[in-house]
């Protein structure tokens, strides 16, 4: 009898716990930057500079959050002062990211009308990263969910959830419209 009650109680509570965990994630909207993304905890924002492979220093805004052995990072690098094109910038960034470990997945990606790349990288340090790269309106959006060792594989689901949560929002003109 007690075993049956315990099993029924566990079956009833499991979906509630999953819902409670999902409720921790919130959508953070950044209309001025043209994107929305989910983080499990509020991110910190930092402005700085990004050094390209050819030595240029570009303005960068980074949003970072850490929770349960995962580092969630969204970098927006402003290429508007350059003649960079999206395809070359994404390819160059993908190549530099590949130097940090073994790229196990590299596929084309699309959000709304914007094309980019998604990568899965097994780091030399035992980490696993889910990465998305998009070049939109002269900005490189570099999103990384990095699961840290020793349990990187077990935590990689949340890193992938973060990677998949990126949405472009608002109307910023140019070659495409963002979806509200």
Domain-embedded: residue 2: no
Domain-embedded: residue 61: yes
- pLDDT for the residue 55: 85
pLDDT band at 23 (very low <50, low <70, confident <90, very high): low
3-state SS class at 82: coil
Domain-embedded: residue 132: yes
Domain-embedded: residue 50: yes
* CATH number of the domain to which 81 belongs: 3.40.1000.10
Domain that holds residue 53: 26-168
Lowest mean pLDDT among 5-19, 110-124, 142-156: 5-19
Q: How many domains does the chain have?
A: 1
Domain-embedded: residue 47: yes
Domain-embedded: residue 110: yes
Domain-embedded: residue 48: yes
pLDDT band at 162 (very low <50, low <70, confident <90, very high): very high
Chain segment 47-106, per-residue pLDDT in tens = 999 998 788 899 999 999 999 999 999 999 999 999 999 999 999 999 999 888 899 999
3-state SS class at 109: strand
pTM (predicted TM-score):
0.81
Domain-embedded: residue 12: no
Average pLDDT on 140-159 reads: 94
pLDDT band at 171 (very low <50, low <70, confident <90, very high): low
Averaged pLDDT of the chain? 85
Sheet with 44-51, side-by-side order of all strands: 44-51, 57-67, 70-78, 139-147, 128-136, 114-123, 101-111
Please, where are the H alpha helices in 37-116? 86-98
């Amino acid at each position: 009898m007690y075993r049956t009650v315990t099993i029924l109680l566990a079956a009833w509570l499991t979906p509630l716990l999953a819902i409670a965990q999902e409720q921790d994630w919130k959508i953070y909207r950044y209309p001025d930057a043209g994107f929305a993304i989910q983080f499990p905890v509020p991110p910190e924002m930092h402005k700085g500079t990004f050094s390209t492979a050819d030595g240029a220093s570009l303005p960068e805004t980074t949003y970072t959050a850490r929770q349960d052995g995962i580092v969630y990072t969204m970098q927006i690098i402003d290429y508007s002062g350059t003649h960079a094109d999206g395809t070359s910038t994404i390819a160059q960034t993908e190549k530099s990211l590949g130097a940090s470990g073994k790229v196990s997945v590299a596929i084309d990606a699309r959000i709304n009308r914007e094309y980019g790349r998604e990568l899965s990288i097994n780091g030399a340090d035992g980490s696993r990263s889910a990465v998305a790269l998009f070049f939109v309106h002269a900005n490189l959006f570099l999103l990384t969910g990095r699961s840290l060792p020793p349990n990187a594989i077990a935590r990689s689901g949340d890193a992938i959830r973060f990677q998949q949560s990126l949405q472009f929002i608002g109307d910023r003109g140019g070659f495409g419209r963002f979806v509200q």
